[in-house]
Amino acid sequence: MNASLAAFLYLVSGVLFILALRGLSSPETARQGNRYGVIGMGIAIVTTLAYQLPAGFFALILVILGIAAGGAIGVWRARTIQMTAMPQLVALFHALVGLAAVFVAASALNAPQAFGLGTPGAMHAGSLFEMALGAAIGAITFTGSIIAFMKLDGRMSGKPILLPSRHAINIGLGVLLAILAVAFMASESHFVFWLIVLVSFALGLLLIIPIGGADMPVVISMLNSYSGWAAAAIGFTLGNLALIITGALVGSSGAILSYVMCKGMNRSFISVILGGFGGETAAPPPSGEAEARPVKQGSPEEAAKILKKAKKVIIVPGYGLAVAQAQHAVREIADVLKKDGVDVKYAIHPVAGRMPGHMNVLLAEANVPYDEVFELKEINPEFAEADVALVIGANDVTNPAAKTDPTSPIYGMPILDVENAKTVLFVKRGMGSGYAGVENELFFRNNTLMLFGDAKKVADSVLRSLE
């Protein structure tokens, strides 16, 4: 295959990637967008293999075996992964992309002539810079994503781990990275290259450890952006147009998504990077009076009676719904209500769950009609007209303290105005705080009825009572 045809096919794959991103922006077109992405990646892989065919039969077999092994693992994980574990899986994907960037940079350094970068000891300065940049971003992405995975998977506390003088340490590591990059460009030293990788590993670790659980959606999109820029930098090193286009698209879309997430939380991107808020347990009040505050506790039968009398119901899904896999039961409740003429809608907060779009995916999996799902700005004015707001585990994103308590760590974050509904049915396992580590004031409102228990079991009981 000649260079012109390869460039054209890479351009075609780039266009398909753009169409994929456009399709993935809406649940209605997500399947088609995913197809575009798969086709585009297939074209890019086949073009790369045909244009840069490995020298020798054994090398080609290794490439094919690598693709087969990776593809088999990918298919297996896609078929077995639980929707609740999707954020962890995405974090691991980002880690692998970052590590791949480090390995490709190391390969280019060891065999520059194979990549058209010159000869050992006489490599192009621009290539050395791209190599250092790609390896550094990739290494930061790798360790940062591993920490994000461990926090999301419960293998590490979701509370911020605040190291003393962490900002000074991070700035020092950043300056050291710049010095090492200059030294690497001047010396082409393998030792300096691996120092860059090691320092970047440490920086990725230190950047993500102070970020609390409530900021995890931003971290996921931020690491997505990092992985894209790492791929783009390595694409310049290899002179691979498809990798440059793909990396730039992923990097820019991840950056935009991070901005959207931060805006949805009324947070600045810098404040998240410098150590966010969030934990697993709220700090106990000094006198213990908060634990003694009374709440109204109801039963599924009571909830069913309230829902039967309603004319308009807004359902608010959260991470509790995802953990219990209650989306199908909740959709069945909605179907029963709609048969009785009840107006049913779903309200999605931009950062509900543990990653962007988490709730949208769960509802789509349960075949909830797309035209019944609304974002925060669209649905908020309607809560005042709703007879019932049915909240399933959406803790932080419904907490009125975000509007009323300047001392709260979530103060200023836009929330779903569920407290304006005539009745709030709140399904939750217990009185524990949300992922941000703060108690939800909504529990103690006069119009709130708490339904304690596993979300799926509670939803099944409500459904039986309705039927």
User: What is the average pLDDT across 248-258?
Assistant: 86
Find the catalytic residue in 396, 405, 417, 454: 396
pLDDT at 240 over 50: yes
Give the rounded percent of residues in the chain with a pLDDT score beyond 70.
90
pLDDT at 149 over 60: yes
pLDDT at 424 over 70: yes
pLDDT at 459 over 60: yes
Structure confidence at residue 435 (pLDDT): 61
Ordered by where they begin, the domains of the chain are 81-273 (no CATH), 298-466 (3.40.50.1220)
Q: Which residue has the higher pLDDT, 134 or 273?
A: 134
Q: SS in 3 state form for the chain?
A: CCHHHHHHHHHHHHHHHHHHHHHHCCHHHHHHHHHHHHHHHHHHHHHHHHHCCCCCHHHHHHHHHHHHHHHHHHHHHHHHCCHHHHHHHHHHHHHHHHHHHHHHHHHHHHCHHHHCCEECCEECHHHHHHHHHHHHHHHHHHHHHHHHHHHHCCCCCCCCCCCCCHHHHHHHHHHHHHHHHHHHHHHCCHHHHHHHHHHHHHHHHHHHCCCCHHHHHHHHHHHHHHHHHHHHHHHHHHCCHHHHHHHHHHHHHHHHHHHHHHHHCCCCHHHHHCCCCCCCCCCCCCCCHHHHCCCCECCHHHHHHHHHHCCEEEEEECHHHHHHCCHHHHHHHHHHHHHCCCEEEEEECCCCCCCCCHHHHHHHHCCCCHHHEEEHHHHHHHHHHCCEEEEECCCHHHCCHHHHCCCCCCCCCCCCCHHHCCEEEEEECCCCCCCCCCCCHHHHCCCEEEEECCHHHHHHHHHHHHC
pLDDT band at 26 (very low <50, low <70, confident <90, very high): confident
**Residues 354-394 pLDDT 10s:** 677 778 888 888 889 888 999 888 999 999 999 999 999 88
**Residues 280-328 pLDDT 10s:** 433 444 444 445 678 899 999 999 999 999 999 999 998 888 888 899 9
**Residues 184-214 pLDDT 10s:** 999 999 999 999 999 999 999 988 888 766 6
Structure confidence at residue 390 (pLDDT): 96
Structure confidence at residue 372 (pLDDT): 92
pLDDT at 54 over 80: no
Our answer to whether residue 417 is catalytic in this structure is: no
User: What is the average pLDDT across 259-276?
Assistant: 67
pLDDT band at 151 (very low <50, low <70, confident <90, very high): confident
Q: How much is the mean pLDDT over the chain?
A: 85
Ranked by mean pLDDT, the top range of 154-168, 236-250, 333-347 is 333-347
pLDDT at 278 over 50: no
User: What is the average pLDDT across 154-170?
Assistant: 78
pLDDT at 256 over 60: yes
pLDDT at 277 over 70: no
Tell me the pTM.
Answer: 0.76
Structure confidence at residue 264 (pLDDT): 65
pLDDT band at 158 (very low <50, low <70, confident <90, very high): low
